[in-house]
Structure 1
Amino acid sequence: MAVTPGTTKRGMLRRIDRNHYLYIAVIVAVAAGAILGLAAPEFAKTLDPVGKGFVALIKMMIAPVIFCTIVIGVGSIAKAATVGKIGGLAIGYFLIMSTFALGIGLVVGNLLHPGTGLNIATSTYQAVGEPVSGTDFILGIIPATLFSSFTSGSILQVLLVALLVGFALQGLGEKGTSILEAVKKLQALVFRILSMVLWLAPIGAFGAIAAVVGNTGAGALLSLATLLVGFYITCAVFIIVILGTMLRLVTGVNIFSLMKYLGREYLLIVGTSSSEAALPRLISKMEHLGVSKSVVGITVPTGYSFNLDGTAIYLTMASLFIANAMGKPLEIGAQIGLLAFMIIASKGAAGVTGAGLATLAGGLQTYRPDLVNGVGVIVGIDRFMSEARAVTNFTGNAVATLLIGRWTRQIDTAQVRAVLSGERPYQESMLADTDGHGTDTVPTTAAITVIVEGPERESVKNR
């Protein structure tokens, strides 16, 4: 990967500053909205359209986000699998773990019942559609034309077209490379627009929280706090118990030792609310830890699109919260259908802060369109949840790299022990040494583009 250390560092610092401003603005907006809702509930209710307007902007981005991530994702799976044992193990592991994480989110959500008793549907948000089922549901997946799926409002139609395009590009082979690159450029544009929309999050959060608190009182704040705390605890348990146990059993490494080694990356992630900012550093550090360049070069970039454990937990728990809060809980059948959709749609959702929010809206739009307006309530705490999502995603990919290295016997266990014990500390100058690593074994279609904000914006491809 061609990286200019000075430029990248300046860009990342600028990105941290910009995201900190947005983060602080959301915190202030949520607090102000809650205070207004308690102090002047009648006036606060009139701010409902502000929250709905922000949700409408998010809904506007659902179709292009889903289309681009699925098309690129299908191509990445095919290419990554062709590198043999490493790619096959990585893809298999990612699919199993992300599905498992989605399942955990559903289990915890059903145990906590977040949002129950809030009843925001009767006061703030009105239904925008009815649940679909049976024959109409199946036939509704097929769009009238290839392009009408983008204007019909049906995310399942977009999903079907995206899958068809993705598999068609696979069949074209080298001829489809230029088209796939064009889709990647389109994705960069879509995510740029999404990032612009997210700068309106403080306004949307203020209106949504004020209206909800004005209608329901302090109960809304308590319910949101329950979801937030439950999500953080779930992510912590997933990292320590699930990932920690697997790491110990397979490699003998303690999860806390690994997290201590990656401490600086966690600070960067918390500052940006995205694990993308730490991608180049993770590649460099995992190579220094003793994992072969081929394993790191395949597992880490692919994992950033397909191994999104924190995002998976968030999607299911947030969906259950919205359904309960609107007094329309999801039945088991609908939960399973939502999980199946999220397994596909969540791939690539970590590319930009806020893509998870769009994916959440897309899932609800698909199975329960009457719930999608409830996303406005989540906006108020989504920024708080983003850190836990990013940290969980990042830790999952670090653990996956060690596991794949062990399973393929491409890991230096002596180096692992020496590095984690502090005998061979990581030097910052090593980041530049990852330039061009693994170019003979790593599929170029698995490249992940990190967009660094600022005038010196550049695309850094880790192959």
Structure 2
Amino acid sequence: MSLTSHASAATTNVPRTRRPLWRHPNLLILIAAACGALVGWLDPKTGADSRVLADAFIGLVKMVIGPIIFLFISTGIAQVGDLRKVGRIGLKALIYFEVMTAMALCLGFVVGDVLRPGAGVAPPSGGLSGELAKYAAAPLTSSFGSVFFKIIPENFVGPFLHGDMLQILFIAVVFGIALVVSGEKGRPVTQALENLTTVFFKFTSIVMTFAPLGVFGAIGFTVGKFGLVTLIALGKLVLTAYFSMVLFVVIAFAIVCKLAGIRLLPILRYVRGELLLALATSSSESALPSLAVKLEQLGVGRAVVGLVLPTSYSFNLTGVALTMPLSVLFIEQVYGLHLSWTQQATIFGVMLLTSKGAAGVTGAAFVTLAGTVAATGLLPLQGLVLLLAVDRFMSEARAVINVIGNVIATIVVGKWEGEFDEATSLRVLAADKALR
């Protein structure tokens, strides 16, 4: 029996009661965020030091993500039992990812050219700091070949130790295929993995009880280290980034949902807890385990959730794709330069590749941005100093948009494949609205 079946049975047999307000995880996260901001404001040093709580929580989440991805994908493929269908799901997902990434990059360039967030900002003085030089020197994806060859791991255990999501995905797909071709002999292994999946999701629910502590540390660190002065000084860039993301949601995502025959607002309401967690921790990866459960409960097939959701965390980072053009144009405008349409098209092509290499953890997008700027050779690297100062603020919105994009991608591909139960979806969304 799948996790959805267990969840459905529980929903049927257990009376629906409202959870006491003081125990609601969303409220606890909001309280933790407010307390973290207060501590960071009153005592910046203590606030900055509280980052250890955020890092510890993210570490706990990353600890379970690898096994969950492996279990979810391998058992999902085994349940489908049709390798042609698995390949079809993967191909449709990759096409969708590339189209949405291109749309996000285009919108980022248009908004950056029109609103010009870098106009009037003074260029930074001095050379590259040691931290910035480290970012700029980070290895950069240069071709589709390098992306896909990087997926193949050197051994079975290494990807789980290093948290390499793409390599874990590769192992899970191959292992799932092996379960299918093993036939009857593979069924006991599949059943054992199903049972192990249930245990890991229980483990994840225990980890998520520490989310308020992680949020407290993340917000305390942000306010304590950067304060509000930096945000005000570079507020136009931050507001431009937020505006472009809101615009992408109300236009691009709304159109996609309309074409797919699904309603955007109820879905956003359904995953509001995960969106809040991503916003507070600046990490879309922190929401992955609970999203996997919620999407299957929503009526999306296990194979689709297992294949599309983890893959989208590397290939469908629309939040990253939106802010990368804005950041590049910001540097251009700060230094009073002018990138021709040809040069912008060149950067667009580079970003189609480099945006795939940003992981779902805080700071990875800046590494990708720095590598992109260094690779093009069209802009001064010193401009990254200003971006480094406000990247934390933009990363919060980036994480939210990444989560929204990944949820919608999973549902849309599920509908394309006939692996989306409309009746279950309507029932779950209605129950969720009633419990608000």
The normalised TM-score by structure 1 is: 0.59
Instruction: Provide the rounded CA distance (Å) in 1 between the counterparts of 2:42 and 2:350.
Output: 31
Tell whether 2:304 aligns with 1:295.
yes
| Match of residue 109 from structure 1 | 112
Letter in 2 for 1:368: G
Match of 1:230 among 234, 240, 244: 240
| Match of residue 34 from structure 1 | none
Pairing 1:242-281 to 2, within 5 Å after superposition: 242-251=252-261, 253-281=262-290
> Cα gap change, 1:154/1:338 in structure 2, threshold over 3 Å: closer, same or farther?
farther
Letter in 2 for 1:381: V
How many residues were matched structurally?
320
| Match of residue 371 from structure 1 | 380
1:102 is paired with a residue whose SS is helix
> Cα gap change, 1:422/1:81 in structure 2, threshold over 3 Å: closer, same or farther?
same
The alpha-carbon deviation at position 279 of structure 1 amounts to: 0.5
Tell whether 2:77 aligns with 1:95.
no
Letter in 2 for 1:291: V
1:298 is paired with a residue whose SS is helix
Deviations 1:87-112 (A, max 9, x none): 11001100110111011100100001
Instruction: Provide the rounded CA distance (Å) in 1 between the counterparts of 2:140 and 2:342.
Output: 22
| Match of residue 322 from structure 1 | 331
Instruction: Provide the rounded CA distance (Å) in 2 between the counterparts of 1:164 and 1:248.
Output: 35
> Cα gap change, 1:244/1:166 in structure 2, threshold over 3 Å: closer, same or farther?
closer
The alpha-carbon deviation at position 358 of structure 1 amounts to: 1.0
Pairing 1:423-438 to 2, within 5 Å after superposition: none
| Match of residue 459 from structure 1 | none
For the aligned residues, what is the CA RMSD?
Answer: 4.3
Instruction: Provide the rounded CA distance (Å) in 1 between the counterparts of 2:159 and 2:304.
Output: 27
Letter in 2 for 1:376: V
1:118 is paired with a residue whose SS is coil
Tell whether 2:402 aligns with 1:393.
yes
> Cα gap change, 1:89/1:27 in structure 2, threshold over 3 Å: closer, same or farther?
farther
Instruction: Provide the rounded CA distance (Å) in 2 between the counterparts of 1:28 and 1:355.
Output: 28
Letter in 2 for 1:178: E
The alpha-carbon deviation at position 85 of structure 1 amounts to: 1.3
Contact 1:307 1:393 in 2 (8 A): yes
> Cα gap change, 1:164/1:343 in structure 2, threshold over 3 Å: closer, same or farther?
closer
Tell whether 2:292 aligns with 1:283.
yes
5+ residue gaps, structure 1: 3-9, 30-75, 129-150, 171-175, 189-198, 210-219, 427-463
1:84 is paired with a residue whose SS is helix
1:411 is paired with a residue whose SS is coil
Deviations 1:110-158 (A, max 9, x none): 001111132416xx25699xxxxxxxxxxxxxxxxxxxxxx9x777x85
The alpha-carbon deviation at position 371 of structure 1 amounts to: 2.1
Structure 1 stretch displaced more, 320-329 or 296-305:
320-329
Match of 1:159 among 141, 158, 183: 141
The alpha-carbon deviation at position 181 of structure 1 amounts to: 5.6
Match of 2:154 among 178, 191, 199: 178
The alpha-carbon deviation at position 17 of structure 1 amounts to: 7.2
Instruction: Provide the rounded CA distance (Å) in 1 between the counterparts of 2:84 and 2:390.
Output: 37
